[in-house]
C-alpha cells in the first residue's frame, strides 16, 4: 500500500533500530539508570551523552544545550511555557506567535494567554502560508517574552526565514523559539546561524522512534521547567533518562543528516512528479508556496474541487493509498484546519501528500493511478459517496 503520509510519521531508519535494540537489550541484559554511579549506570549515561553530542554537532549547538524530550510536543511546550514563565519573572508577559503553528505551540500559547494572563499577538501568514519576518518583528514589544515561528509548516510545507527573525532579535530580550519538527528531514539546520534560543525536533519525523524528541535550549536563556523531580538535564527536564530512545534519536539525527543531500532532491523529484500529474486534472490546485525554494521537498498540498475531504481520504485508504486530509498528526479528527483557515482556503477537499526515505518511484506511480481514479469516482457520485 503506497504510504504518502511521511509528514505524520516516517519509518525508523536501520541505524535508529540498531541503537534501540542495543540499548534496550544491553550485552549483559542490564541497562542501568543513567544517573547511577555504577558501571551499568555509567554505560547508559555514556549512550545518552554520545547521542547528545551527535545532535549538538548536527545542529551547530553546544552539547549542554540539547535536552531529549518525549517528542516535538513536549519540546514545544517546554520552550513556550518555560521561556515565557522565566520572562514573566522579569515582567515580560507578551508572546508573538504565528497563526499557523502546530497545536503544540499554538495551544500552549493560547493556554498561557487564557489561563496565565499572558498576551499573544498572532501573526497571520501570507497567502502561501509563509510568515513574513517583518510582520513578526513589527509585533515585538519591549515586554515580549517569546517569539515563536516554525521553520516549516506541517500542512503546507511552507518554509520560513527564521534566520532573518533571529538576526533582528539577537540583541533584544525576547527569546526566539522555532518548531523545526518538519524541516529537519530535508533542510539543514544550524541554530547558531538561525540565532534561535530554542528549537524543537521530533524523532519519528526523520527516522527515529516515536516518543522521543529534542529541545535545543540555549544555556544562559532563563527557563522554568515544566516538571520537577530528580533534576536531570540541569533541572530543565527531570526524569530518568530514556537511554535507548535518546540513543536511537541521536542515530536517526546522524543518519538523516548524512542522507539529506541525496534525499532532498529525490523527494523533490517525487513531489514534482505528483504535482505534474495531479495539477493536470480539472479543479485541482496547489496550496502553499509556488516557489520550490519556499516549500519543503517532501510536501505536496492540494485542494480538489467537487469532492469531500473526509470521503477522499477514506476512499484513498480503501483503495490502498495512505495520505492525509491535512495535518493527520494531531488527533485524527477531521476538523477544519486552522492553517487553511489562516491562508483563506476552505470548502473543497484538501489533500497532503508527503514522501520520505522509504518512498519509491514505483510507489508514487501506483499512488497517482489510484488518486486519479478515486477523484473521478467520487466526482461521479457527487463528491461524497463511498467508492
Would you tell me which residues interact with ligand PLP (CB under 6 A)?
Answer: 71-73, 76, 102, 104, 150, 154, 179, 181-182, 202, 213, 329
Cell of 58: 548536527
Q: Rank residues 154 and 337 by Cβ distance to ligand PLP and give the closer one.
A: 154
Q: Shortest Cβ distance from residue 105 to ligand PLP (Å)?
A: 7
- C-beta nearest to ligand PLP: residue: 72
Q: Shortest Cβ distance from residue 153 to ligand PLP (Å)?
A: 7
| Strand 94-98 with 119-123, pairing | parallel
**Look-up of cell digits 520537577:** 228
Q: How far apart are CA 286 and CA 123, in angstroms?
A: 23
Radius of gyration, alpha carbons of the chain: 21
Q: Shortest Cβ distance from residue 327 to ligand PLP (Å)?
A: 7
Q: Rank residues 202 and 287 by Cβ distance to ligand PLP and give the closer one.
A: 202
Cell of 162: 527564521
**Look-up of cell digits 517569546:** 146
Q: How far apart are CA 135 and CA 125, in angstroms?
A: 9
The residues, any chain, with a CB within 8 Å of residue 374's CB and separated by 6 or more, are 312, 315, 316, 319, 321, 387
Q: Of 82, 109, 52, 58, nearest to 175 (Cα)?
A: 82
Say whether 284 sits in a helix, a strand or coil.
strand
Cα-flanking dihedrals φ and ψ of residue 18, to 5°? -65, -40
Q: Rank residues 103 and 385 by Cβ distance to ligand PLP and give the closer one.
A: 103
Q: Shortest Cβ distance from residue 339 to ligand PLP (Å)?
A: 10
Q: How far apart are CA 98 and CA 80, in angstroms?
A: 13
Q: Rank residues 182 and 256 by Cβ distance to ligand PLP and give the closer one.
A: 182
Q: Rank residues 79 and 136 by Cβ distance to ligand PLP and give the closer one.
A: 79
Could you say which of 113, 196, 249, 329 is catalytic? 329
Cell of 67: 535536552
Residue 37, burial from CB neighbour count under 10 angstroms (0-12, 13-18, 19+):
exposed
Asked about 249 being catalytic, the answer comes back as no
Q: How far apart are CA 72 and CA 339, in angstroms?
A: 18
Q: Shortest Cβ distance from residue 16 to ligand PLP (Å)?
A: 14
Q: Rank residues 10 and 144 by Cβ distance to ligand PLP and give the closer one.
A: 10
Positive or negative CA dihedral for 35, 40, 44, 49?
A: positive
Q: Shortest Cβ distance from residue 93 to ligand PLP (Å)?
A: 24
Q: Which positions are catalytic?
A: 329
Amino acid at each position: 500500500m503506497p504510504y504518502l503520509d511521511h509528514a505524520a510519521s516516517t519509518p525508523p531508519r536501520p541505524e535508529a533500530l540498531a541503537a534501540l535494540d542495543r540499548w534496550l537489550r544491553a550485552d549483559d541484559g542490564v541497562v542501568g539508570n543513567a544517573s547511577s554511579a555504577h558501571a551499568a549506570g555509567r554505560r547508559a549515561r555514556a549512550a545518552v551523552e554520545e547521542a547528545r553530542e551527535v545532535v549538538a554537532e548536527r545542529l551547530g549547538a553546544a552539547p549542554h544545550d540539547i535536552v531529549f524530550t518525549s517528542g516535538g510536543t513536549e519540546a514545544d511546550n517546554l520552550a513556550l511555557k518555560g521561556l515565557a514563565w522565566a520572562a514573566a519573572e522579569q515582567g515580560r508577559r507578551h508572546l508573538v506567535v504565528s497563526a499557523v503553528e502546530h497545536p503544540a505551540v499554538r495551544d500552549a500559547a493560547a493556554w498561557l494567554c487564557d489561563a496565565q494572563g499572558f498576551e499573544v499577538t498572532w501573526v497571520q501568514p501570507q497567502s502561501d502560508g509563509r510568515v513574513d519576518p517583518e510582520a513578526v518583528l513589527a509585533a515585538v514589544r519591549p515586554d515580549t517574552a517569546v517569539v515563536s515561528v516554525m521553520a516549516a509548516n506541517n500542512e503546507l510545507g511552507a518554509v520560513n526565514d527564521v534566520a532573518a527573525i533571529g538576526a533582528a532579535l539577537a540583541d533584544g530580550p525576547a527569546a526566539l523559539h522555532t518548531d523545526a519538527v518538519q524541516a529537519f528531514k530535508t533542510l539543514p539546520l544550524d541554530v547558531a546561524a538561525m540565532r534561535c534560543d530554542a528549537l524543537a525536533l521530533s524523532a519519528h519525523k526523520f527516522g527515529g522512534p516515536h516518543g522521543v524528541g529534542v529541545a535545543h535550549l540555549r544555556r544562559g536563556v532563563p527557563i522554568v521547567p515544566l516538571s520537577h523531580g530528580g533534576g536531570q538535564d540541569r533541572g530543565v527536564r527531570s526524569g530518568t533518562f530514556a537511554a535507548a530512545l535518546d540513543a536511537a534519536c541521536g542515530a536517526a539525527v546522524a543518519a538523516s543528516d548524512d542522507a539529506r543531500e541525496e534525499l532532498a532532491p529525490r523527494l523533490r523529484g517525487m513531489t514534482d512528479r505528483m504535482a505534474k500529474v495531479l495539477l493536470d486534472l480539472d479543479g485541482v490546485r496547489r496550496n502553499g508556496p509556488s516557489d520550490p525554494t519556499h516549500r519543503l521537498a517532501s510536501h505536496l498540498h492540494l485542494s480538489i474541487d467537487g469532492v469531500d475531504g473526509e470521503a477522499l481520504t477514506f476512499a484513498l485508504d480503501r483503495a490502498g493509498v495512505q495520505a492525509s486530509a491535512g495535518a493527520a498528526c494531531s488527533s485524527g479528527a477531521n476538523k477544519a484546519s486552522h492553517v487553511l483557515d489562516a491562508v483563506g482556503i476552505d470548502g473543497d477537499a484538501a489533500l497532503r501528500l508527503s514522501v520520505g526515505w522509504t518512498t519509491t518511484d514505483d510507489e508514487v506511480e501506483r499512488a497517482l493511478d489510484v488518486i486519479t481514479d478515486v477523484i473521478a469516482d467520487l466526482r461521479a457520485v457527487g463528491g461524497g459517496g463511498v467508492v
